[in-house]
A = this chain, B = another copy of it.
Amino acid sequence: MSNRILNFSPGPAALPEEVLEQARADIWNLDGSGIGVLEHSHRGKAIDRIFDEAQADCRELLGLPESYAVLFLQGGASTQFAMVPANFLPEGGTADYLNTGAWSKKAIAEAKLYGGVHEAASSADSNFSYIPNRDQTSYSAEPAYVHFTSNNTIFGTQFVTEPEAPSGSVLVCDMSSDVCSRPLDPTRYGVIYAGAQKNLGPSGLTLVVIRRDLLDKAVREVPSMFRYHLHESNGSRYNTPSVFGVYMVGRVFRWILDSGGLSGMAERNAAKAKLIYDYIDGSSAFYGTARADSRSLMNITFRAPTEDLEKKFIAEAESEGLSGLKGHRSVGGMRASIYNAFPPVGCEALVQFMKHFESRNG
Interface residues of A (CB under 8 A from B): 2-5, 7, 9-15, 20-21, 23-24, 27-29, 32-36, 38-42, 44, 74-79, 81-82, 86, 106, 109-110, 113, 195, 197, 201-205, 221, 223-226, 238-245, 248, 321, 323-324
Given contacts A4-B35, A9-B40, A21-B28, 8 further A-B contacts (CB under 8 A): A2-B29, A4-B36, A5-B34, A20-B27, A23-B27, A38-B201, A204-B241, A204-B242
* Smallest CB separation, A292 vs chain B (Å): 28
In the complex, chain B residues whose CB is within 8 Å of the CB of A10: 41
Write out the residue numbers on chain B whose beta carbons fall within 8 Å of the beta carbon of A75: 74-75, 79, 225, 239
B12, B29, B109: the one contacting A243 at CB < 8 Å is B12
Which residues on the B side are within 8 Å of A203 (C-beta)? 38, 42, 240-244
What's the Cα separation between A224 and B110 when bound, in Å?
A: 7
Contact across chains for A40 and B27 when beta carbons are under 8 A apart: no
When all copies of this chain in the complex are counted, the total is 2
> Is B244 a contact partner of A202 (Cβ separation < 8 A)?
yes
Residues of B within 8 A of A221 (CB): 113
Contact indicator B34/A82 (Cβ below 8 Å): no
**Contact, CB under 8 Å: B39 / A15:** yes
Contact A74 B12 (CB under 8 A): no
Q: How far is the CB of A253 from chain B (nearest CB, A)?
A: 16
A44 in contact with B223 given A4-B29, A74-B204 (CB within 8 Å):
no
**In the bound complex, do residue A7 and residue B39 qualify as a contact, i.e. CB atoms below 8 Å apart?**
yes
| Chain B positions within 8 Å of A242 at CB level | 74, 202-204, 242, 245
| B-side contacts of A197, CB under 8 Å | 240
Q: What are the residues of chain B within 8 A of A28 when measuring CB–CB?
A: 2-4, 20-21, 24
CB-CB < 8 A to A244: which residues of B? 202-204, 244
